[in-house]
Chain A
Amino acid sequence: MSKNKHINDDIKFNSILESLKKIPILENPEQLTDSILNKIENQNDNDNARRPIQRTIMIMQRVLAAASIALLIVFGVEQYIFVDKVIQLENRNSDLEQKSQKIKGLNFLLKNIDVKKLMMAEKENKYPEKDQKFIKYKIQQARLLALNLNRSEVKNLIKERLYE
């Protein structure tokens, strides 16, 4: 029964389909043809008229795009220079602070020993044995502290101490 129903449904469907395949009537085909050709002709005329304007707009767009890119690059470079200077300034400040700490430390050390005697004694290698280790240790400390300092800065510092 179900198989028969399906076959009947198919027959009805095919029958209706055959009717729907009938070609729809196109009224006034010449009018449609003329209308299409007129539109194409109008478009061609419009395109020809618009061409110089379109070209100008295109050139302006490209110039604008190039200017925007150039502006971005300039801005980027300026930002880089600015940030770089800020970083350099920060580093210099932190160096200065570290140096001032080290100079303080060196000063403190140098205050606790007679630098003149020390320099003479070290030159002649003539200081008492019991003090040798202590002196050598102090000199090492001072040298380590002075490592990050400018040599001329250290020399000046020691000279100042010597001729105080």
Chain B
Amino acid sequence: MPFEIEKIIKEIKEGKQEAFRKLLEEYQQYAFNLAFRILCNEEEARDTVQDSFIKIWKKINGYDANIKFTTWMYKIVTNTAIDRIRSIKRQKSVNLDSVTEKLYQMQDESTEANLNNKEMADIIKTLANDLPEKQKIVFVLRDLQELNSKEVETILEINETQVKSNLYHARKTIKEKLTEIISFERSQR
């Protein structure tokens, strides 16, 4: 049975928790994907998803049907994740050796790298954590979450030029870092 988002939202606005359960079951994975990629931590990502959906429940009457539900949801998740980043005093350090080893394997497109959550988190952290906040978020939304430019503009409330500029600089910095890490790894072998 196709998931009818408009009908579900209408029921949620009427206060029906069963409808909200259906919404959660359908969308919490997407929210988790985004939160995880921004925060690079499973526990923090779960908490962020929880906080975000509570906000969605409270603000559902303010949802504008002209915007895609996922875009609206991603906006709430992104803002909640950003608030969380700012409140986290110190992030756990990354084991650079294992990250480097993994990156070296991953650069070969013929071999499939099987990454678990921790490895994925460590790699994103290594490559993107030093980026300015906006560049990192744009990179995650565009390149990892694979949203289109319009959605990113809506989520971050920036224009097309800013999206392109932030993405360009983020990719440039990550490529440089990648080259540095892989060259170093190659020299150690």
Any chain A CB within 8 A of the CB of B136? no
Which one, A13, A33, A41, contacts B178 given CB within 8 A? A13
* Bound-complex Cα distance A22 to B120 (A): 9
**B36 contact set on A, CB distance < 8 A:** 24
Name A28's closest neighbour in chain B (CB-CB).
Answer: B46
- CB pair A24–B174 under 8 Å, yes or no, is no
Task: Tell me the nearest residue of chain A to B116, going by C-beta.
Answer: A25
Helix, strand, loop or mixed for chain A's interface? helix
Contact A20 B124 (CB under 8 A): yes
- Tell me the complex Cα distance, A36–B12, Å: 15
Indicate if the CB atoms of A36 and B50 lie closer than 8 Å: yes
Residues of B within 8 A of A46 (CB): none
Interface residues of A in 17-50 (CB under 8 A from B): 17-27, 29, 32-33, 35-37, 39-41, 43
Contact B28 A12 (CB under 8 A): no
Contacts A13-B171, A18-B109 given; does A24 touch B32 at CB 8 Å: yes
Name the contact of A23 in the complex, choosing from B33, B45, B171 (C-beta under 8 A).
B33
Contact yes or no, B107 A16, CB < 8 A: yes
Contact A41 B17 (CB under 8 A): yes
Please list 10 pairs of residues, one from A and one from B, whose beta carbons are closer than 8 Å in the complex, sorted by A's number.
A12-B107, A13-B178, A15-B108, A16-B103, A16-B123, A21-B144, A24-B33, A24-B45, A36-B54, A37-B24
Q: Which residues in A have some Cβ–Cβ distance to B below 8 Å? A: 9-27, 29, 32-33, 35-37, 39-41, 43
